[in-house]
A and B are shown apart, each in its own frame.
Chain A
Amino acid sequence: MIEIKDLHKSYKMGSNSLHVLKGINFKVEEGELVAIMGSSGSGKSTLLNILGMLDGADTGEYTLDGVPIKDLSETKAAQYRNKFLGFIFQSFNLINYKSALENVALPLYYQKVPRKERQEKAMQYLDRVGLKPWASHHPSELSGGQKQRVAIARAMAAEPKVLLADEPTGALDSKTSYEVMDLIQKINDEGNTILVVTHEEDIAHMCKRIVHLKDGVIVEDKKIEQVRAGQYV
């Protein structure tokens, strides 16, 4: 599903440049649930941004579902993001003046799905994350866990190939974190490919594979026994 070869990325910081990613080689099959771990500054967010086409790599190859991702125009990138990727952010990034339902429907709107169909579909996904009764609520009326679940529903709504989660539990207490991870695991069980960036060990162990990043290189890549989050909920 995802294939990366010899990926390099550096940032210019004034006169000296900061080499963040130093040759990443990495492959994700369909249906995997991968945790990308590392301390801050290890380059894990940069990697996720490049995977999410929010940022470009300096050198290296990136193929997503057989499509080479290279030198994209903003328009093309937006199109690919909409079609291939779903984002889940640490700070939820819901749009404040739109209701939960409208937030979930947003990616469908960009796909030009007709209004009625869009709302039906969005409602369906809200139901799947258990928030159907909150459909008309605005983000300010929801708890952190609920917000993240709306964000997950939004990420799923466009039926992307890959879900990218950047510290999805970073802003949540451990109980809600497990609830969110439980949801992510269930989505994965249905066959969706999910990448989770985290620095929390327990969250990482709820995935099926852990990739350790340190100073811009992969130091460890291992398959693990998945810990089900359901047992803590």
Chain B
Amino acid sequence: MFNRDRWQEILEVLTKNAWRTIFTAFGVCWGIFILIVLLAAGKGLENGIKKDFGDIATNTMFMWTRATTRAYEGLPQGRRFEFKIDDVQAIRDNVPNLRFISPRNQLGGFGGNNNVVHGIRTGAYNVYGDYPEIINQDPMAVTSGRFLNYNDINEKRKVAIIGLGVQNDLYDKDEDPLGTYIKIQGVNFLVIGTYKKNNSGGGEEGQKEIFVPFTSFSQAFNRGEDVGWMAITANDGSSISVLKDKIVSVMKERHKVHPEDTRAVGYFDLYEQYNRVESLFGALKAVAYIVGIMVLLSGIIGVSNIMLIVVKERTKEIGIRRALGEQPWSIKKQILMESIFLTLISGMVGIIFGSLVIFGINSLLDSVGPVDMFMSPSVSVGVVTGALTILMVSGLLAGFIPAQSAIRVRPIEALRTE
């Protein structure tokens, strides 16, 4: 393999007709360039879309109650019911592999009235009664103070964590909200922390939320044992989409809902949505590979063609070498190595140019700021090694027919070619 004479010969053959070699190499170079750029563009689109999911736990479902649509066990159709706080324990007991179950209550909502007052300023915000675990399901960065803890829950403390948006609305620029009170629907809460969310999907809305302990929320706003809705996250390795049927049926049983009533318990399966996006990008990647490889293929055929011509030109030389006693497989190896070498080198040039283009796009994106649905296109090392493997194999394939035809020529016929 690392035979000096062999490599010397390969270089001599390829540089003897430099322009022809360059034009042939361009075909392969172009193919791999297209492949790399397409994959990077797909990745950029994927990054852009996935950014909208933020770092929210994707293996999560949300569940709430609606009116029943079927009469059951003497209870009428159209009955409204609420989840209760002990439903949480019931789910935990009956359904394995769940990581977090967060019961939540909520005040406000889209287009709600002003419900929060601080000093002379007021605003309309979503106020959530939550358990401390919610920070794992709906991640946020606590920028000052602290988040909720179980002491808050157990002692029903009237404390609140407010978003950056709330702070900007209700406080002066240089005012420290920690230790101040805000009045939520007439009840005073002590501000103990502020947060900022990375999740850009919620946009401004995500920064305009207030979190208070679930228990204090229930008491202050008269919710009793009721639970507005739940956020449930499964363990890594088990899918919430699989577990959700079980969870829903536990709820139906506890609230005397007809087992076939599909409307009474509403839910949103984030994981399913996420998977749908995932498979979309899988398809996109497949298209990129197919297009890239098709373009590459025409380059490979070019290499194969040139190698055939090279063999034809060297028929006499091959004849001489065989008369001098070179083994047929050695000649075959020579042709194959020339072909692989040519494809690999031109492929690498293609990869380098592709990377340069990606680099250029990235620095362009950096300079103009974020663009909708497109972010940092890139190719992984895995893709590059994959591309190199494709090149190796295709070089081998491209050289195979010419190499075969090189050893098919009998030395006597080759020598006769004057």
Contacts and interface: CB of A to CB of B under 8 A. Distances in A.
Interface stretch (A47-55, A179-187, A189-197): A47-55
A52 B320 CA distance: 12
Contacts of B4: 115
B325 A81 contact: yes
Given A49-B412, A74-B407, A87 B418 contact: no
Contacts of A82: 324-326
B169 interface: no
B366 to A, nearest CB: 50
A54 B324 contact: no
B330 interface: yes
A75 B325 contact: no
Given A93-B415, A115-B5, A75 B324 contact: no
Contacts of B410: 54-55
A110 B326 contact: yes
Interface string A74-104: 1100111111000101010111110000000
A58 to B, nearest CB: 15
Interface string B308-351: 00000000110011111111111000000000000000000000
Interface string B3-38: 011000000110010000000000000000000000
Given A74-B407, A106-B321, A109-B5, A93 B316 contact: yes
Interface residues of A, number: 28
A110 B323 contact: no
Interface in A104-163: 106-107, 109-111, 115, 154, 158
Contacts of B316: 93
A107 B325 CA distance: 7
B132 interface: no
Interface string A40-72: 000000000100101100000000000000000
A75 B16 contact: no
Max count, chain B CB within 10 A of own CB: residue among A79, A82, A96, A111? A82
B415 A54 contact: yes
A78 B415 contact: no
Given A91-B418, A93-B320, A97-B16, A78 B412 contact: no
B12 A75 contact: no
B411 interface: yes
B320 A110 contact: no
Nearest to A93: B320
B415 A106 contact: no
Nearest to B411: A54
Contacts of A81: 322-325
Given A107-B325, A109-B5, 16 more contacts: A49-B412, A55-B410, A74-B328, A78-B326, A78-B327, A80-B325, A82-B324, A83-B325, A87-B323, A93-B316, A93-B320, A95-B321, A106-B321, A110-B324, A110-B326, A110-B327
6 contacts: A54-B323, A74-B407, A82-B324, A94-B320, A106-B321, A154-B324
